[in-house]
Amino acid sequence: MFFMVLSAVVLGNGLIILGTVDFKVKKEPVNVAGTPAQRFVPLDPDSPRLDPTEAEVKAVVVIAHGFGGSQRMMWPFASTFARNGYAAESFDFPGHGSDTTAYTADDAQRLQALDHVVQDAHTRWPGKPVVLLGHGMGAAIAVQYAHMHPIAATIAVSLGDRAPADVHNLLLIPGSDQSFNVWNTTSMRAAVAWVDRLTGTTRPTGIVTDVRMLGLGIVVLGLLWFWWSLCYFLFRRHPLEPLGAHLPWRSVLLVSLAAAVLTPLI
């Protein structure tokens, strides 16, 4: 029973982290010329809690997701930028996420969707520099767009072999793969630091990063711990005799775990 209570405390801490990742950030869904997007705007920390006002932003970051992804996958980046005083707009490419357009391998269509969001950022925050951040496919589109339009800066995450020769700052993160770079706090800090360099912003207290993956991991750990504690509690009160093939529980558990691990790999 003690471990069940302790696992519930762990689970509660994870839920608290997930519930506060967007603290002092205003999120609003928008539709930009048919392109679904989500705005992240920093709130003034000195404004009333029940009636907060938007803070002044120094730059706007337009965020493009990778192939098979969605704008929701890029929320850790968007929230990180907003919590550090920048506005961010994360959007869905045609045929991805909540966009209902049929998927086509047409870069011109993707460039048009990106252009819609960039122009919306210019309209929403006139005079503010617009920065592009893309991941995978979105990084390739962002780089291509930046070569055709005046963009303050471009941040390409997991661009791979398509990285241009004139890259100004290359960051390699040991132990992180192409997908995990979206949630890696090192990549988040580097992205904010690059925009800080553009805007001349200094941070005596450091960069605040999104920790929703930490919260999610704690929630999963709490659920597994609670499940194990509950099973242990019930089996001690009501021990079960081996059934079926009369296999011991250890053998059944070994086969079950092996199937769960090998199935996605085969």
Asked if the structure places residue 19 within a domain, the reply is: yes
Asked if the structure places residue 117 within a domain, the reply is: yes
Q: What tokens were used for 216?
A: 């999610």
Answer yes or no: pTM beyond 0.85: no
Neighbours of 23 (CB within 10 A): 11
Asked if the structure places residue 263 within a domain, the reply is: no
Residue 19 has a pLDDT of: 75
Asked if the structure places residue 97 within a domain, the reply is: yes
CA distance 26 to 13: 23
Asked if the structure places residue 31 within a domain, the reply is: yes
Residue 123 has a pLDDT of: 92
Asked if the structure places residue 62 within a domain, the reply is: yes
CA distances to 107, 180, 181, 193, 198 from 185, in Å: 30, 10, 8, 12, 20
- DSSP class of residue 61 equals E
Asked if the structure places residue 227 within a domain, the reply is: no
Asked if the structure places residue 230 within a domain, the reply is: no
* Terminal-to-terminal C-alpha distance of the chain: 39
The total number of structural domains that make up the chain: 1
Residue 80 has a pLDDT of: 92
What residue numbers bound the domain in which 56 lies?
A: 1-213
Q: What is the mean pLDDT of each run of 10 residues along the chain (266 residues)?
A: 77 79 82 90 70 78 89 89 92 86 85 92 91 89 89 79 66 69 83 90 84 83 84 66 62 76 73
